[in-house]
Amino acid sequence: MNQIALPLDWPVADEEEDFLISDANRIAFDHLKRWSLWPVPVTLLTGPRKSGRSLLGRIFVRKTGGRLFDDAERHDEETLFHAWNEALARRKPLLMIADLSPPGWDIRLPDLRSRLTATPHILIHDPDEELAGHLVLKLLADRGVIVPPDVSEFLVPRIERSYVAVQQVVDALDRAMMSYNRTMSVALIRRVLGEAGLIKRAKYRA
């Protein structure tokens, strides 16, 4: 099964087989995989920061030979307009990545605005419980921290569903393991994440 991983700051993955996929990002992944069926050879991808959208874009370009504009809303609008036209003329795929889609992305150039209105838009959602859990386990394993099954079952339902929160949890637990030189346990997670305010306290007391 193809999998796509959403990277955090450390380590930097850049291969498709490193990736994890769930319902939070499956539609985006499948859309990019079927780029030859797009109604126009351009797509706009949005999603939360740290959601793996940039890495997904790099992999897409490597596989298709297309073009990528990451943080597209920070690029010159004339440049984006000409890139859109060039993609249509050459039938080479173009992927734009932005924080928001129009109208949330304020576009002043009318010709670019009209083209983006006709451009397919795909979204990476906040991580579901499945993806958040796999991300925590994989990223800790990448740092040499093995999480026992009972610890994973305790942790995953109690952390915030965001990519930033996943990174914060991984960083906090990694620092704790280096500082305390102890085996990962529920007690350690209670202490470390409770002190850092990274665990939902109502469930944390349960």
CA distance 12 to 128: 22
Task: With beta carbons less than 8 A apart as the criterion, state whether 89 and 73 touch.
Answer: no
Q: How far does the chain reach from its first CA to its final CA, in angstroms?
A: 36
pLDDT bracket for residue 156 (50, 70, 90): confident
Q: Which two tokens stand for residue 136?
A: 């925590």
Q: How many CB atoms lie within 10 A of CB 74?
A: 9
Scan for tokens 């529920």, then name that residue: 186
What pLDDT is attached to residue 10?
33
For 3-23, the pLDDT digits (tens) are 434 433 333 455 665 668 899
Non-local CB neighbours of 102 within 8 Å, separated by 6+ positions: 113, 116, 117
Question: What are the strands of the beta sheet with 42-46, ordered from one edge?
Answer: 67-69, 94-98, 42-46, 121-123
- CA–CA distance, 196 with 192 (Å, rounded to integer): 6
Range 62-83 average pLDDT: 96
* pLDDT mean over 47-75: 92
* Average pLDDT of every residue of the chain: 86
Query: Which tokens is 175 given?
Result: 């620092």
Stated pTM of the model:
0.81
